Structure 1
Amino acid sequence: MTTALSPVDPDSYRALMAAHPGGVAVVTTDDGLGTPYGFACTAWCGVSLDPPLLLVCASTTGSTLPVLAGRGWFAVNLLHGAGRRAADAFAHRDAGRFSAVPWRPSPATGLPLLPEDAHTAAECRVHRLDPVGDHTVIIGEIVRTTTTRGADQPPLLYGMRRYATWPVP
């Protein structure tokens, strides 16, 4: 027997999502004139090997999504354990987030990269945008990856409402 059920409330949803850690990334783009935009996220994953696709989820009310959609390009900066300052800077809607962390434009695409806080970056061309609820699923085709000097550090994780790093063997 099936009964009509209502969706869980926002607090229950947040508690569910906080209970399982995820890797922290900062998604970046620019307006084509050099002004950078970005946000922190743990909602990202691989999608396909052939073609090489990944996805990230962006709030529909954030300032980055319309710029990313217009530009058609974005980078996913995967943070290492010492990259918490970037996670904190990009977790809030603050116009000064790029002044809080060192960044540089990619020589290939011009996208903002965070070489001191990320162990790896994937530069992507937008493959598809799918609005879902209060977010948009962005699927990107990976055209370039960069590994930085932080590659030997464990990844930054976020779960249970706190940061942690992968244990080093």
Structure 2
Amino acid sequence: MKTPDVSAPEVQTGERDFRALMSLFPTGVAVVGAMDDAGRPWGMTCSSLCSVCLEPPTLLVCLRTRSPTLNALLDSGTFTLNLLHDSARDVAELFASGAPDRFERTPWHLPEAAGGPHLADAAHAVGDCEVESSRQVGDHTVVFARVLRVRVAGSGAAPLMYGMRRYGTWPP
């Protein structure tokens, strides 16, 4: 037997309502990094990512379309996904701030064949990725990428989480 719908009437969703909805979906925090043609690193905090499939290992990230990080990523065809650990909140905030000197304020390196800058001190796992395709949706671009290499730190650090407009950590 079908139950009657007693929910509130449907209303057009605005940006504020959508932000409120998505804030209730906790997620991990990452820094997406890429190198531009001049060898300069670019990066930004990203919580809009997910796995797509295992064969081939593919994920997607969503980045602001007017972001210089996205431009470097699309121009180079590669990037690095740095999954941040629970002690890296300052790094997440730095890379979300848009500060032009962010790579001068946090340690990073570029291993041979890396897709972009590795934030070894802040990341509990790093994936080097190759862009497969991209598609603009509104003010963001969805980037599909194949994961080529993965490095997992042996520290056992918990992942940094973000939800309800605040940072947290995975419970013990």
What whole-Å deviation, never above 9, does each CA across 1:95-117 have from its counterpart, x for those lacking one? 11111211111222262000000
What corresponds to 2:84 in structure 1?
A: 79
Q: Distance between the aligned counterparts of 1:90 and 1:108, measured in 2? A: 23
What whole-Å deviation, never above 9, does each CA across 1:16-69 have from its counterpart, x for those lacking one? 111111000000000143210011011011101001101100001211111111
Using the size of structure 1 for normalisation, the TM-score is 0.91
Q: Distance between the aligned counterparts of 2:97 and 2:42, measured in 1? A: 12
The structure that has the greater radius of gyration is 2
Alpha carbons 1:85, 1:101 under 8 Å: kept: no
Task: Describe the shift of the 1:110–1:51 C-alpha distance in structure 2 as closer, same or farther (beyond 3 A).
Answer: closer
Alignment match of 1:89 (pick from 80, 85, 94): 94
Q: Distance between the aligned counterparts of 1:21 and 1:119, measured in 2? A: 18
Q: Distance between the aligned counterparts of 2:12 and 2:54, measured in 1? A: 34
Q: RMSD across aligned C-alpha pairs, in angstroms?
A: 1.4
What corresponds to 1:64 in structure 2?
A: 69
Instruction: Using the aligned pairs only, state the percent identity.
Output: 42
Alignment match of 2:32 (pick from 1, 18, 27): 27
Alpha carbons 1:122, 1:144 under 8 Å: kept: yes
The runs of 5 or more residues in structure 2 that have no matched partner are 1-9
Q: Distance between the aligned counterparts of 1:111 and 1:64, measured in 2? A: 11
Mapping of 1:13-162 within 5 angstroms? 13-109=18-114, 111-150=116-155, 152-162=156-166
Using the size of structure 2 for normalisation, the TM-score is 0.90
Aligned to 1:113, the other structure's residue is in SS state: coil
Q: Distance between the aligned counterparts of 1:51 and 1:149, measured in 2? A: 25
Q: Distance between the aligned counterparts of 2:108 and 2:114, measured in 1? A: 14
The runs of 5 or more residues in structure 1 that have no matched partner are none
